[in-house]
Amino acid sequence: MPEIETHERDSELFSPPSDVRGMTKLDRTAFKKTVSIPVLKVRKEVVSKLMRSLKRAALQRPGVKRVIEDPEDKESRLIMLDPYKMFTHDSFEEAELSVLEQLNVSPQISEYNLELTYENFKSEEILRAVLPEGQDVTSGFSRVGHIAHLNLRDHQLPFKHLIGQVMIDKNPGITSAVNKINNIDNTYRNFQMEVLSGEQNMMTKVRENNYTYEFDFSKVYWNPRLSTEHSRITELLKPGDVLFDVFAGVGPFAIPVAKKNCTVFANDLNPESHKWLLHNCKLNKVDQKVKVFNLDGKDFLQGPIKEELMQLLSLSKERKPSVHIVMNLPAKAIEFLSAFKSLLDEQPCSSELLPIVHCYSFSKDANPTEDVRQRAGAVLGISLEACSSVHLVRNVAPNKEMLCITFQIPAAVLYKNQTRNPGEQFLEN
């Protein structure tokens, strides 16, 4: 094998062949490519000792062996070197040369023709080579059990089936790739989806924060990016507290809270979510602690929640638990806050026992925190400026944030015929 002279390396050395550009039907065989890699010939018995000292110089490429048999000498091995760092024996550092000398290894670098195939390229490299040059390549997705949920952009749609198959190929355990084809339906919080590649089966099982959830992903709402938020709210409740979950989905708030020995009232309008919520409560052994409803959010607030609040707030102060109300329907939840106005007609309890609301919303405003405060306050008819906190949940899209506003419902909102407390600010209707 001839010695390599110092020369400029091809910056696209590890990119797929250029002729795959524009491919819409995946042809794995088209990704074969031969590249020249610098190698160091060593006796096989010194390989393990030498590799510890050649971490800097050795090839770091997932899926490519760094040590291979020498096709010309069974007693020798070839160590693959980084083609961007190693050109001649002068490329070795002093410490590396010292180890080579100790082990009686010649620092002479040779060239080896390495064949790369589809298996050697990462998903992002494949998509960057296939999609139109300069176009955005997103290889990220939400994982929902065995399903990869993508949200493809317009310029990626001609390549959608290829993209789906690449996601399956390159992610162990993924057997189906789907793409959202419309916005979330505000009534049932699910969306139409297209199976791009793989299994048609949308029945899936996920683990989140040590709890198991089973559901039909095509018929209910599930977002794995909310696991941190589910934990954050769960940690706010103490054993014995009460949670009203107005838009409960398949149970990611209700079930962890019930496991803390809290009483939970969980509701969802979607019959499929209601079905899987019941199923998941049993699956996680909390079905005795969760009362499940299949109502419109407003009917749940003005029915079961109203009844329970009247009972809870009439208990003696020593026995009263903290009451939390979660409203996770970001597109519309703020509108449902109007159901709290004059909800109860009993005498108000002491203010520390009033329910705490966690209401989610989207905002495209330049100041999303103030936007959410103002919109929630406008629905309630009060100012929430000084008596609420707003938590940024996640960035949903460019200039679109998901936030959670938390506040205790003032007695003057919750109870009928209440006069304003001194210093309490009300908004003009």
For residues 146 and 204, what is the distance between their CA atoms, to the nearest angstrom? Answer: 7
Long-range contact set of residues 133-142: C-beta below 8 Å, sequence gap at least 24? 133/21, 139/166, 139/167, 141/167, 141/177, 142/223, 142/224, 142/225
**Alpha-helical runs (H) found in 158-226:** 160-170
Q: What is the Cα 71 distance to its own chain's centre?
A: 46
Question: Which of 205, 274, 279 minimizes the C-alpha distance to 245?
Answer: 274
- Dist CA 175 CA 171 (whole Å): 9
Cβ proximity of 81 and 88 under 8 Å: no
Binding residues for S-adenosyl-L-methionine: 230, 268-269, 296-297, 328
- Give the C-alpha separation, 247 to 358, whole Å: 12
Sheet holding 73-80, edge to edge: 67-70, 73-80, 33-43, 109-116
Strand 242-245 with 323-327, pairing: parallel
Are the C-beta atoms of residues 243 and 257 closer than 8 Å to each other?
Answer: yes
In the annotated binding site, the residues are 230, 268-269, 296-297, 328
